Amino acid sequence: MNENQKQDLLTCSRTELEELLQARGKRAFHGRQLDAWIWRKGVFEIDEMTDLSKELRASLRDEFEVKVPKIVEVVTGEGENSATKYLFELSDGARVEAVYIPSEDRVTVCLSSQVGCAFGCKFCATGLLGLARNMTTAEIMGTFLMIRANSEKRISNVVFMGMGEPLANLKPVTEAWDRLTDPDGIGLSRRKVTISTVGLPPKIRLLAEREYPPKLVFSICSADEERRRELLPVAGRFTLDENYEALMDYANRTRNRITVAYLVADGLNDTIEEARKLDRWLRDLPAKINMLRYNEAVGDFRRPSEEKVEEVAAELVRLGRTVVLRTSRGRDIAAACGQLAARQITKQKSEDSIE
């Protein structure tokens, strides 16, 4: 950090804020006040932290700042309880997305964990971008804080299912999970903050070792090994059997039921036989199935018909599976991961070529 660069307070834990104030001759409780202003009250300007003395605020302002990301674009769908997608610009100019999803009984925020993604899943817009870098804990939390600041409703749920593979950036993601569920900070229920993965068995096992293991979502596009490997060129290096064993171990060690996110696309996996393959793969895994309709993003994949989706769901229910088929939202806001960011990059390249 150069002499003129201020330290970002989002990078500091509550204990570090206490130590930071004590090192400047102040009492530790001032650090706890700082922490509460940022995380509980959502105040980012030091001058607005009014229970700190003017002298202390002036001193802090010279050295520190709360560095939240810039909102570049906001797209909201039509109708009641429509989803809203945010495109953020980070301090180095990198751009990431997050989605605000209200419903009758909850408000969910979907967060990104990486700038781009290295996994190259064939149906994912983020895969087009490649991986630029991992997001830091402060950057992840900054996107959440900015969405909360613009929300009229209380956010109740968070899922790490945006740009990137969360388990490929495990430390910052789990630190963000700790921040979100801190009872003296943001205070979300541990049962309401979920981490997703396309399947990294070694990281799944590491996640199970945490004192408070998060709820886990395993995203699957096909229970056919060959087809899955074709669609997921990187994640497909770990077999479905390897993932099954890691997920079963996770469920047994944590006592958490696994959520299986089944992404359904036209002509890909919207058949009765694909439903039966998924059932056979699940075997004894304690799991519920969230069926997701594909939002057109890249390649030749298309959204399935409602009739096909309902047929697949009905077959899974007939086979004894718990299936959640929620009302589909977000198609009109480019809700597939990476679509806004990819569009912005394409636009910038076009402008550059004109110049």
Q: Where in the sequence numbering do the catalytic residues fall?
A: 97, 337
Give dist(CA 96, CA 219) in Å, integer: 20
Tally Cβ neighbours within 10 Å of residue 252: 11
Coil, helix or strand at residue 88: strand
From CA 170, how far away is CA 159, in angstroms rounded?
A: 14
The beta strand positions in the chain, using DSSP E, are 7-8, 64-65, 70-76, 84-89, 95-102, 107-111, 114-116, 131-134, 157-160, 193-197, 215-220, 258-264, 287-293, 322-324
Side chain identity at residue 328, one-letter code:
S
Distance CA 318, CA 6 (A): 59
Assigned token pair, 220: 């699957």
Contacting residues for 177 by C-beta, under 8 A, at least 6 apart: 160, 193, 195, 214
The alpha carbon torsion through 199, 197, 202, 127 (nearest 10 deg) reads: 70
Are 262 and 289 within 8 A, CB to CB? yes
- CA–CA distance, 78 with 67 (Å, rounded to integer): 32
How deeply is 137 buried, as exposed, middle or buried, from its count of CB atoms within 10 A (0-12, 13-18, 19+)?
buried
**CA distance linking residue 196 with residue 112, whole number of Å:** 11
